[in-house]
Amino acid sequence: MASPWKTASVPGLQLGLGCGFWICRSYRLLFRAGAMGPHVVPRQLVWLSRWQAVCARGASVQHRTRAGVSRIPSLLSPGGALGVSPLVRRSSSSTPPGAPEVVLTQQRYPVTRLPFSAVSAEDLAAFERILPGGVVTDPEVLEASNVDWLRTVRGCSKVLLRPRTSQEVARILRYCHERNLAVNPQGGNTGMVGGSVPVFDEIILSTTLMNRVISFHSVSGTLVCQAGCVLEELSRYVEERGFVMPLDLGAKGSCHIGGNVATNAGGLRFLRYGSLHGTVLGLEVVLADGTVLDCLTSLRKDNTGYDLKQLFIGSEGTLGVITAVSIQCPPKPRAVNVAFLESPFYVLVETSGSRAGHDAEKLSDFLEQALSSGLVTDGTVATDQTRLKALWALRERISEALSRDGYVYKYDLSLPTERLYDLVSDLRARLGSQAKHVVGYGHLGDGNLHLNVTSEAFSPSLLADLEPYVYEWTARQRGSVSAEHGLGFKKRGVLSYSKPPEALRLMQQLKALLDPKGILNPYKTLPAQA
């Protein structure tokens, strides 16, 4: 049921889209609404669930999936801190037909292999004893785990391990620690920054077979599961029981909950249910030396000593391997509305609540205010699943639309709300005709701008105009150069734009404490040490 409300008319608007910083001439914005700030949205709308801003191009798009390795053409730039030229030569049999092969990271980037041991035949035999049948050395199978889903980086690992239990992970790491073998923990391999694939020949430690739900508490909504459970499957599991996962991502069909936690994934429910630092109740983690750290509590409150699990949330597998997760699931909303509004920006607003009548009343009042004020010029509201999904597809397909525009330079920034769109306007002026398009979309409610710049082909001079300019601009606003994607391999060099030297030093000390040999996900998160 979609209600056209174009003719409504009312006074007293607070949506805040007219504050200037969301005015955008060439592009339009989509928002998802949620627990938004009260001046951004009228107070009566604080029950809305999500708030996300998106700038969409009109280009026709294909629906994105992450079910295979060749799904998406590369969006990233060759050269530069984040750059890589994705399409170099055609693949051998290990690459899906028609997909170009990705250049090895070690050939593309100025990175030197650290003095880890190389995997020997004895090592393989030892792994086979730990994991009978769980040791993969077939190059065709390995290919999918050596290349990231964006097809921008590529390792040359010769072995993939698939443990089923934490104890197996512990035995593997104990062995690797002793042998000085580097390990690349891998979940669904859906990361955006090259954090989930090897840089050189690191052993790939996959959580794929660790996909068991351990427990679900039907009163509290606490889910305890192994790290390799796929987010979408967990969503289905808890929704059948009247709950929802506190996080939702475009990659949900492939990503693993352990990887989500290791990345500190943000996503579409962030504003409604908060960060994983609040919703994750407990973790089981295997440390670099094989120690199993059991902090897999399901308690809401526990002030017995330091909250160790927090260390591993967002550490990208560099401090330990997350093997199980305890997470608080909120009750499933009974009523959902999506409003798609038009103004200088496209705005996508989703509400979720417990009583459809109340929610419709609040949304209707809000929309009347927004329309009558002139801030919003047109729009539609959907409550049925088909239309809901159709509206959401407009947002979810932006990335593909961008990839059709040519070469794409991508940035994921957090900025103070009032400066969120300034960088887009600024860059348009700065880049002039060098760029085909400068596009800003993202999550208004949490200050997350997805900045995309397109050009016909990769241009070193355009890149030089973008970097470090974009990072310096962000740093001046005390923003974050990685809002929700993490640093991984591709962004580890820009950490210092958002963190002071004292913080970087402490991070390095923590890494040295927890992984003294540096075997866990090397070349990731922290800058290379001089």
State which of positions 356-375 bind a copy of itself (CB under 8 A). 358, 361-362
* Torsion region of 488: left, alpha or beta (phi above 0 gives left; psi -120 to 50 gives alpha): left
Query: How far is residue 478's CA from residue 357's CA, in Å, rounded to a whole number?
Result: 42
CA–CA distance from 210 to each of 87, 161, 164, 258, 280 (Å)? 33, 12, 5, 10, 18
User: Which residue in the set 191, 198, 447, 493 belongs to the binding site for a copy of itself (CB under 8 A)?
Assistant: 447
Q: Give every CB contact of residue 252 below 8 A, 6+ residues apart in sequence.
A: 230, 231, 232, 235
Torsion angle of alpha carbons 236, 145, 126, 230, nearest 10°? -10
Residues 119-138 that bind a copy of itself (CB under 8 A): none
Which is nearer to a copy of itself, 97 or 357 (by Cβ)?
357
**Site track 51-90 with a copy of itself (rule: CB under 8 A), x = hit:** ----------------------------------------
CA 489 to chain centre: 14
Q: Does 297 bind a copy of itself (CB under 8 A)?
A: yes
Query: How far is residue 425's CA from residue 449's CA, in Å, rounded to a whole number?
Result: 13
- The distance of closest approach from Cβ of residue 324 to a copy of itself in the complex, given in angstroms and rounded to an integer, is 14
Sign, CA torsion 89/92/98/104: negative
> Do you find a cis peptide bond into 468, omega within 30 degrees of 0?
yes
Which is nearer to a copy of itself, 14 or 207 (by Cβ)?
14
- The distance of closest approach from Cβ of residue 488 to a copy of itself in the complex, given in angstroms and rounded to an integer, is 10
Which is nearer to a copy of itself, 45 or 69 (by Cβ)?
45
Q: Does 308 bind a copy of itself (CB under 8 A)?
A: yes
Q: Does 239 bind a copy of itself (CB under 8 A)?
A: no
Q: By CB under 8 A, which span of 100-108, 160-168, 261-269, 342-350 interacts with a copy of itself?
A: 261-269
Residues 387-426 that bind a copy of itself (CB under 8 A): 414, 416-418
CA atoms within 13 A on the CB side of 300: 7
Residues 263-282 that bind a copy of itself (CB under 8 A): 263-264, 266, 270-271, 274-275, 277-279
User: Which residue in the set 38, 68, 96, 374 belongs to the binding site for a copy of itself (CB under 8 A)?
Assistant: 38
- The distance of closest approach from Cβ of residue 332 to a copy of itself in the complex, given in angstroms and rounded to an integer, is 8
Q: Does 304 bind a copy of itself (CB under 8 A)?
A: yes
The secondary structure of residue 520, as a DSSP letter, is B
Return phi, psi of residue 297, to 5°: -75, 155
- The distance of closest approach from Cβ of residue 303 to a copy of itself in the complex, given in angstroms and rounded to an integer, is 5
CA–CA distance from 154 to each of 87, 200, 425 (Å)? 12, 8, 35
Q: Does 146 bind a copy of itself (CB under 8 A)?
A: no
Query: How far is residue 513's CA from residue 133's CA, in Å, rounded to a whole number?
Result: 33
Residues 461-520 that bind a copy of itself (CB under 8 A): 478-487, 494-495, 497-500, 502-504, 506-507, 509-510, 513-514
- The distance of closest approach from Cβ of residue 125 to a copy of itself in the complex, given in angstroms and rounded to an integer, is 29
- The owner of tokens 């620690």 is 177
- The distance of closest approach from Cβ of residue 341 to a copy of itself in the complex, given in angstroms and rounded to an integer, is 19
- How does strand 203-206 pair with strand 183-186? parallel
Query: How far is residue 493's CA from residue 467's CA, in Å, rounded to a whole number?
Result: 12
Query: How far is residue 226's CA from residue 259's CA, in Å, rounded to a whole number?
Result: 11
Which is nearer to a copy of itself, 86 or 185 (by Cβ)?
185
Q: Does 20 bind a copy of itself (CB under 8 A)?
A: no
Residues 315-334 that bind a copy of itself (CB under 8 A): 315, 319, 330-331, 334
With CB under 8 A, what is the number of residues at the site for a copy of itself?
97
User: Which residue in the set 78, 221, 259, 522 belongs to the binding site for a copy of itself (CB under 8 A)?
Assistant: 221
User: Which residue in the set 4, 20, 26, 39 belongs to the binding site for a copy of itself (CB under 8 A)?
Assistant: 39
- How does strand 280-286 pair with strand 48-52? unpaired
Q: Does 167 bind a copy of itself (CB under 8 A)?
A: no
